């Protein structure tokens, strides 16, 4: 399967993405990163694992090549949130992906924005996995209304992230689970640790993203 390169407009910027569509996908997972996504990078490995399990994937870089090089785009949570929302709108409007139940996999700086976007689009996003980052920076207002099953993955060496995750869990209550990857650092730098995080994310989506869930939640279905 050859991924399709796409472009999504958000504000006055164009976001580059890669859409993978296996035959008869059971759902679609939006994978977000705030910078650093390029062909051959390890984040494509996570997309490949999901595709092997029957999911379509959209790997998107939330930082445009036209963004100011000296700007603090990666820490601008409202801006990144809007870009995720624009990606979700694109998925909903595209005839190929519109009917697929959706999950969201976020890493690093995109994590707070992904939590905000999921809280606002809970009719579209059925499950969320966050790898690293500082999830409590999404803000209490959004965390308190988050209603989708959420998995937070942290490295055992990432004390700062774990503390943020616990604060996030307190706000989201039963909707949020924390999983610690033994010996992993904050960036999941070791290939093995990144692979473990990708496999855990895949298991989460297999459990929580499916067409039956999507059908049950459409208007007119009990």
What is the per-residue pLDDT for 94?
92
Task: Determine the 3-state secondary structure of 5 from DSSP.
Answer: strand
In the 8-state DSSP scheme, what is residue 24?
Answer: S
Give backbone dihedrals phi and psi of 211, rounded to 5 degrees, phi first: -65, -30
1-46 tens-digit pLDDT = 678 999 999 998 899 899 999 999 999 999 998 875 444 477 888 9
What is the C-alpha separation between 107 and 153, in angstroms, rounded? 9
Look at residue 68 and tell me whether its pLDDT is greater than 80: no
Contact by Cβ (8 Å): 205, 127: yes
Q: What is the mean pLDDT of the chain?
A: 89
Q: Is the dihedral of CA 199, 210, 129, 152 positive or negative?
A: negative
Handedness of CA 114, 212, 197, 92 (dihedral sign): negative
CB neighbourhood size of 141 (10 A) = 10
At 86-145, the pLDDT tens digits run: 999 999 999 989 999 999 999 999 999 999 999 999 999 999 999 999 999 999 999 999
- Between CA 94 and CA 116 the distance in angstroms is 23
Helix axes of 111-120 and 77-93: crossing angle, nearest 10 degrees: 50
Torsional sign, CA 146, 19, 74, 107: positive
Phi and psi angles of residue 181, each rounded to the nearest 5 degrees, phi first = -90, 115
* Cβ–Cβ < 8 Å for 138, 110: no
Q: pTM for the complete prediction? A: 0.91
At the topology level of CATH, where does 4-59+76-211 sit?
Rossmann fold (3.40.50)
Q: What is the pLDDT of residue 220?
A: 38
Contact between 154 and 161 under an 8 Å Cβ cutoff? The reply is yes
Residue from 90, 36, 93, 40 nearest 62 by CA: 36
Mean pLDDT value of segment 167-187: 92
> Distance between CA atoms of 81 and 74, rounded to whole angstroms?
11
* All structural domains of the chain with their residue ranges: 4-59+76-211
pLDDT of residue 218: 38
* Tens of pLDDT, residues 72-93: 888 899 999 999 999 999 999 9
Start-to-end C-alpha separation, the chain: 37
């Amino acid at each position: 399967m050859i991924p399709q390169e796409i472009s999504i407009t958000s504000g006055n910027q164009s976001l580059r993405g890669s859409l993978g569509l296996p035959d008869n996908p059971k759902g679609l997972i939006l994978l977000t990163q705030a910078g650093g996504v390029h062909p051959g990078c390890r984040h494509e490995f996570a997309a490949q694992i999901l595709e092997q399990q029957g999911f379509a994937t959209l790997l998107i870089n939330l930082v445009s090549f036209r963004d100011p090089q000296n700007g603090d785009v990666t820490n601008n949570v409202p801006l990144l949130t809007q870009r995720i929302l624009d990606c979700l709108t694109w998925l909903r409007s595209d005839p190929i992906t519109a009917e697929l139940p959706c999950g969201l996999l976020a890493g690093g700086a995109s994590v707070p924005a992904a939590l905000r976007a999921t809280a606002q689009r809970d009719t579209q996003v059925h499950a969320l996995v966050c790898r690293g980052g500082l999830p409590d920076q999404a803000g209490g207002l959004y965390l308190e209304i988050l209603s989708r099953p959420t998995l937070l993955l942290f490295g055992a060496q990432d004390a700062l992230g774990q503390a943020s995750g616990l604060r996030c869990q307190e706000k989201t209550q039963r909707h949020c689970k924390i999983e610690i990857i033994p010996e992993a650092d904050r960036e999941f730098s070791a290939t093995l640790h990144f692979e473990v995080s990708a496999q855990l994310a895949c298991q989460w989506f297999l459990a929580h993203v499916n067409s039956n869930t999507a059908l049950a939640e459409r208007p007119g279905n009990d």
